[in-house]
Chain A
Amino acid sequence: MKLITHNMLSSNIIKGVKNGYPLGIQATDVQVNEVDFNPDFVARIIPKLQWPILCQAAESIGHLGDLPKELISDFESNEEFLKKAHHILMEIEVKEGNLVCPETGRKFPISNGILNMLLNEDEV
C-alpha cells in the first residue's frame, strides 16, 4: 500500500466512528520501489491531498527524508519538489503491517501489500 492511497482512507465506514482520519500506520515491512515519474499527475494530485497528513504518514514510517512539511507555493513548476513528492506518494510501499483507526484502535491488516478494509457484520 502506497502513501497516496493512505492519504484518502479513513475508518468512518465503521459504525459509530465519526471522523476516523487519518489512519495510523504500523509497518513491519516497508519497501522502496522505483516507479516512473509522472510530473503532470503529481502536480495535479497534490492540491487534492492532505499534505500535512502525507508528511505525518511518511515521518511515522521513517521515510520523510527532506520533504518540506509546508507545501511550497510554486510546487507545480518545481521539478525537484515534484520528484520528492512522487517518491513519497508512489515509491514507498507498506508491504506488511496495519492501519489503525484513530478512534477505536481497530486494525486493518496489510499483508503482501494488500490492505484489508473488510468489516465484520457488527461493525457496519
Chain B
Amino acid sequence: MLHTIQSCYGDIEDKLVADLGCGCGVLSIGAAMLGCGSCVGFDIDDSALCICQRNLTELDIDQVDLIKADVVHIENDEVLKRRFDTVIMNPPFGTKHNKGIDMTFVRAGLNLSRGSIYSLHKTATREHISKKCSKWNVKMEVLAELRFDLPASYKFHKKGSVDIQVDFIRFTSIGSLKNVEC
C-alpha cells in the first residue's frame, strides 16, 4: 500500500504525513521507512499507542510523533487544517454501533491534508462511498482490491473468521469541500 503511494504518486518521501487511527503503527512505521519527513499518528486507544511507541523505539524510528485524540474532535480544528501533505489510514470499518465511522475518518483526513488521503474500505460500501464523494466534491480512485482475513472479535460474530473484500482508495479534493456536514 505504502509502496504504491510512494512509487505512483510520490506522496511519502520528504512529506509531512498524518496517520489517523494509527493503532500499533504499521502505516506510520512504513511511512517512516519509506523516508517521510515526519509523521504524526493519532489514536484514541492508550494500549495501542503504548505498543506503537514501543515498536517505534525497537525499530529505531525517530520521525514519528504520537497523539491520543478522537479523530472526530480534531476534524474541525482550524489550526491543523491542511497542515499535512498526505494522510494515510486504515480506519475502523464500523460495526453495528458506529456505522459510517470510516467516512468520518476520511472527512477528517480531507480537512487535515492539502494533498491526498489513502485509505482502506469494505468493497461492499464502494457505491455508498462514491456517492458521498460526489456530494463532497472529492475524487475517489480505487487503486487495488485486497482480501482481509478477519478473526472474530465481537460476541455477536458467529463465524470464527471471515474473508472480506477491501478497497484501497485514494481520495483527493477537487477544489473546495462541499456538504461535508454529513
Contact = CB atoms under 8 A, between A and B. Distances in A.
Given A2-B38, A33-B62, A41-B14, A114 B80 contact: no
Interface stretch (B68-76, B98-106, B120-128, B172-180): B68-76
For chain A, give the interface size range.
Answer: 20 to 34
A33 B62 CA distance: 8
B111 to A, nearest CB: 12
B65 interface: yes
Interface in A15-65: 20-21, 33-36, 38, 40-42, 44-45, 48
A38 B13 CA distance: 10
Interface residues of B, number: 27
Residue of A12, A40, A117 with most partner-chain B CB within 10 A = A117
Contact of A115 (B14, B15, B63, B66): B66
A19 to B, nearest CB: 9
A9 to B, nearest CB: 7
Given A12-B79, A114-B49, A5 B40 contact: yes
B37 A45 contact: yes
24 contacts: A1-B67, A5-B38, A8-B80, A9-B79, A10-B80, A13-B74, A20-B79, A21-B79, A35-B62, A38-B14, A38-B37, A44-B37, A45-B38, A90-B62, A113-B53, A113-B65, A114-B49, A114-B67, A114-B68, A115-B66, A116-B67, A117-B74, A118-B70, A124-B73
Interface of B: 14-16, 35, 37-38, 40, 44, 49-50, 53, 62-63, 65-70, 73-74, 76-80, 83
Interface of A: 1-2, 4-5, 8-10, 12-13, 20-21, 33-36, 38, 40-42, 44-45, 48, 89-90, 112-119, 124
